[in-house]
Amino acid sequence: MHISEGVLAVPVLALGWGSAVAGIGIGLRKTPPEALPKTALVSGVLFLVSLVHVPVGPSSVHLTCLGLSGMLLGWSAVPALFVALLLQGLLFQFGGLISLGVNTTIMGAAALSGYGIYRCRLHRVPYLFAFAAGAGAVLIGSLLVTAALVLSSQDLTLTAGMLFAANLPLAGVEGLISVCILSFLSRVLPDYVPGPTRI
């Protein structure tokens, strides 16, 4: 879900940076000192998982763990994502620095959608909401990438549609991974799983 440099129009870049700064500010205010180790751990996971790419058509897909990060961190996921994306841009030129604001906004909004879905969970079936949060975050992120590309240039409409289609199978995979990881954490690190309902 990273958009490379030189693709997006200036208004889209400006909107992305404005939204990213606002989201990071809210996330930092909502991150208590005792949550910093968990936030740093999730940021490291986000940095690592998105470095492994699987070629699909004209692009590639990779795990994102966006829904999982949203479920575990809430608003703190936005600054965690920013740090991960910044390091990827600096160390690997992955995603780029000019488009960092848009990428942070897209992935942050996707993580927050996972957070919102998981907060609606029912006591008896929390795993269904964990799956929906993991899968939904990928779908939301893919829609936002598509919108950013189409708003930047109508010539990118076909490419945007292909990228969205390539991420559809990933949504199911991310949902299953979210369930498995939350189930594991609820046993070994229950304090990491938010809310009174454990999986």
- Comparing 81-85, 89-93, 119-123, 127-131, which segment has the lowest mean pLDDT? 119-123
CATH of the domain at 46: 1.10.1760.20
- 3-class DSSP state of 90: helix
- Comparing 12-21, 75-84, 190-199, which segment has the lowest mean pLDDT? 190-199
Q: What is the pLDDT of residue 59?
A: 60
In-domain check, residue 3: no
Could you report the per-residue pLDDT of 151-197, keeping only the tens digit for each?
988 888 887 888 888 888 889 999 999 999 988 988 888 888 875 44
In-domain check, residue 198: no
Three-state SS letters, the chain: CCCCCCCCCHHHHHHHHHHHHHHHHHHHHCCCHHHHHHHHHHHHHHHHHCCCCEEECCEEECCCCHHHHHHHHHHHHHHHHHHHHHHHHHHHCCCCCCCHHHHHHHHHHHHHHHHHHHHCCCCCCHHHHHHHHHHHHHHHHHHHHHHHHHHHCHHHHHHHHHHHHHHHHHHHHHHHHHHHHHHHHHHHCHHHCCCCCCC
Rounded Cα gap, residues 24 and 30, in angstroms: 10
In-domain check, residue 129: yes
101 pLDDT above the threshold of 90: yes
Instruction: Quote the domain boundaries for residue 188.
Output: 10-192
In-domain check, residue 5: no
Mean pLDDT of 44-50: 88
Kindly indicate the confidence band of residue 199, based on its pLDDT and cuts at 50, 70 and 90: very low
Could you report the per-residue pLDDT of 49-70, keeping only the tens digit for each?
887 766 665 566 778 899 999 9
39 pLDDT above the threshold of 90: yes
When divided into structural domains, the chain yields a total of 1
In-domain check, residue 188: yes
Q: What is the pLDDT of residue 38?
A: 92
Could you report the per-residue pLDDT of 138-152, keeping only the tens digit for each?
999 999 999 999 998
Give the global pTM: 0.88
In-domain check, residue 197: no
In-domain check, residue 2: no
As given in the structure block, the two tokens for residue 183 are 């189930």
In-domain check, residue 4: no
